[in-house]
Amino acid sequence: MAPPLLLLQDIRLTFGGRPLIENASLSVSPGERLCFVGRNGSGKSTLLKIAAGTIEADAGTRFVQPGATLRYLQQEPDLSGFATTRAYVEAGLGPGDDAYRATMLLEALGLTGEEQPASLSGGEARRAALARAIAPEPDILLLDEPTNHLDLPAIEWLEETLRGMRSALVLISHDRRFLERLSKATLWLDRGNTRRLEQGFAAFEEWRDAVLHEEEKERERLDRKISQELDWVRYGVTARRKRNMGRLRKLEGLRTERREQRGAVGQVKLVATEGELSGKSVIEARGISKSFGERAIVRDFSMRIQRGDRIGLVGANGAGKTTLLNLLTGALSPDTGSVKLGTNLEMVTLDQKRDSLDPAMTLAEALTDRRGDTVIVNGEARHVIGYMRDFLFQPEQARAPITALSGGERGRLMLARALARPSNLLVLDEPTNDLDLETLDLLEELLDDYPGTILLVSHDRDFLDRVATSVIVAEGDGRWTDYAGGYSDMLAQRGAAAPQRAVNKAEPKPAKKPSEARGATTTSRAKLSFKQKHALETLPARIEQLSTEIAKLEATLAKPGLYSNDRKTFDTASARLSAASAERAAAEEEWLTLEMLKEELGG
């Protein structure tokens, strides 16, 4: 095997109190295709910056082969100091590189090369930075969310361009299909540590779930061992003091080990606040047209949208997706034709450009619209701190300004705002931007269960396949066509080239036996032990007791003004709520395991 071009070993970096990265490694060999995954806020972009040499780690080593060229696409590029985008891209070329390649790449990405950096939008600046990164065909190419702000034709062009390059690639992206088609290995950053899978992204999620399941089993084994040691301490013989002290030290070591274990990051809890049921007919467009100057954006378009439809809008940047969306929702009047909106519509728009966020607001103010400390979700008042936790925000972030949030955190904030409002028509403009893959899975599940109607603009092919029931496609010259099904179905109907690899539909896995599902083993004995029988009889009362306590704690935390007026009570109740929830979950799991074991043993 060839020696690595880039090597990071034992990287450690701390922001504030707790380490962000504790023990991370990265090895990139010539021509390698590596996708880099992890939850939002896990430190992926930070580790990529360490790999690029733009920031320095607190500990660990970084090695780049002498003479190896490296280019890095960051999320927020700086073009200041350059007269035009062409000058910016050409400045990234090395000796002997073809200057024409800079012009060719800029044109492929929708830029002329004459744009002045000061007048660029965020998306245009990122496309210029992408051209600068890939123009010299470096030995190592580090790309942080390269598909952001690209339309579908540009994403597919980028896939083919990267596939044909000799560069070693390290890719961070939320676009599943992009990762599946380009990656040959996967690096997972999880709780400050990296794990590597020598397969592409298509195999990652099953592998990740297996790793987390094994970790949970190991935690359960450790908890049982601690419980056994505690029983010995409470009820064991105390005559031999030296032996007793040794057991106590062993117990303390086990408890320390358990405390220091970092559990898997929690999942976002997505629940949409449902409005009243809309009429069966939601939107009816008849022969609508819209032009700006001599350019036709929409020409003689008709469509009827019924309650429960999930409509995806697809087209190149500038094709007029937002214009068509505004025409269909009544925000913009057509030049000709008519749009009739159904009865009892409650529309909520997810503005993924985040224009509606006031940078001066704190996170809590953005969620409550500066109206106290409560958020109304499905008709119930919830304390803003509790609602924040559903979206993986920490209590100390409540008073932090929005400007301090990462791109992924701002994406979750926009979701939290939109889903708290009653709706039966969701209008989603690029909802997948900056969301991690786990949050995307949950968003897809929420939209699948949503009883209302969805209008969706997205460049994420996998997301469209999973969510859309029909796709409206820009055909050019103001013409739009409605195709049944998702993105792949649209390609098949249009006769376009099929994807090189078919999308793997989720297939139901065979049900596991209860013993396999919970790591239990079927024993040879004929009946439960006395201790197991006793636990089976007493656990339901314990679960009920914990449920009552949890309900009281939640009611306490929901009191308006508690966080600001009585921080001590809030912290105590919050800590006890977490502990009681964990105790109830453990008791429920133990009871269920014993019930199944009882059934396996024939009662």
CATH number at 406 reads 3.40.50.300
Q: Is residue 561 part of a domain?
A: yes
Of 479, 494, 509, which one is at a domain's C-terminal end? 494
| 505 pLDDT above the threshold of 50 | no
Q: Is residue 510 part of a domain?
A: no
Could you tell me if 39 and 76 lie in one domain? yes
How would residue 511 be classed by pLDDT, with cut points 50, 70 and 90?
very low
Q: Is 41 annotated as a binding residue?
A: yes
Could you tell me if 234 and 314 lie in one domain? no
Q: Domain containing 584: what range?
A: 519-600
User: Using CA atoms, how far apart are residues 152 and 454, in angstroms rounded to an integer?
Assistant: 20
Could you tell me if 427 and 542 lie in one domain? no
Q: Is 398 annotated as a binding residue?
A: no
Tens digit of each residue's pLDDT (9 = 90 or more) over 526-537 = 567 767 777 878
Could you tell me if 557 and 579 lie in one domain? yes
Q: Is 433 annotated as a binding residue?
A: no
Number of helical H runs and strand E runs in the chain: 19, 20
Q: Is 321 annotated as a binding residue?
A: yes
Q: Is 315 annotated as a binding residue?
A: yes
C-alpha 528: how far from chain center: 44
Can you list the pairs that 394-397 forms with residues at least 24 positions away whose Cβ atoms lie under 8 Å? 395/563, 395/574, 397/363
Q: Is residue 291 part of a domain?
A: yes
User: Using CA atoms, how far apart are residues 274 and 164, in angstroms rounded to an integer?
Assistant: 47
How would residue 519 be classed by pLDDT, with cut points 50, 70 and 90?
very low
Q: Is 312 annotated as a binding residue?
A: no
Token pair for 469: 């029931």
Of 260, 295, 328, which one is at a domain's C-terminal end? 260
Where b means 16+ CB within 10 Å and e means fewer, 113-152 reads bebebeebeeebbbbbbbbbbbbbbbbbbbbbbbbbbbbb
How would residue 517 be classed by pLDDT, with cut points 50, 70 and 90?
very low
Could you tell me if 200 and 218 lie in one domain? no
User: Using CA atoms, how far apart are residues 477 and 291, in angstroms rounded to an integer?
Assistant: 11
- The CATH code of the domain that includes 572 is 1.10.287.380
User: Using CA atoms, how far apart are residues 432 and 419, in angstroms rounded to an integer?
Assistant: 15
Could you tell me if 69 and 141 lie in one domain? yes
Q: Is 580 annotated as a binding residue?
A: no
Task: Compute the average pLDDT of residues 98-119.
Answer: 91
Q: Is 40 annotated as a binding residue?
A: yes
Could you tell me if 489 and 524 lie in one domain? no
Could you tell me if 455 and 550 lie in one domain? no
| 149 pLDDT above the threshold of 60 | yes
Of 177, 206, 235, which one is at a domain's C-terminal end? 206
To 5 degrees, how large is the angle CA 429–CA 160–CA 50?
75
Residue predicted with more confidence, 264 or 331: 331
Could you tell me if 318 and 294 lie in one domain? yes
Cut 0.85: pTM above it? no
Could you tell me if 218 and 367 lie in one domain? no
Could you tell me if 23 and 193 are in contact, meaning their C-beta atoms sit under 8 angstroms apart?
yes
Tens digit of each residue's pLDDT (9 = 90 or more) over 17-72 = 668 898 899 999 999 999 999 887 788 999 999 999 999 999 999 999 999 999 99
Query: Domain tally for the chain?
Result: 4
User: Using CA atoms, how far apart are residues 410 and 393, in angstroms rounded to an integer?
Assistant: 11
Could you tell me if 74 and 151 lie in one domain? yes
Residue-wise DSSP of 147-203:
TTT--HHHHHHHHHHHHT--SEEEEE-S-HHHHHHH-SEEEEEETTEEEEESS-GGG
Count, residues in the chain: 603
Q: Is residue 508 part of a domain?
A: no
Task: Compute the average pLDDT of residues 189-212.
Answer: 91
Q: Is 43 annotated as a binding residue?
A: yes
Q: Is residue 273 part of a domain?
A: no
Q: Is 318 annotated as a binding residue?
A: yes
Q: Is 316 annotated as a binding residue?
A: yes
Could you tell me if 381 and 256 lie in one domain? no
Q: Is residue 275 part of a domain?
A: no
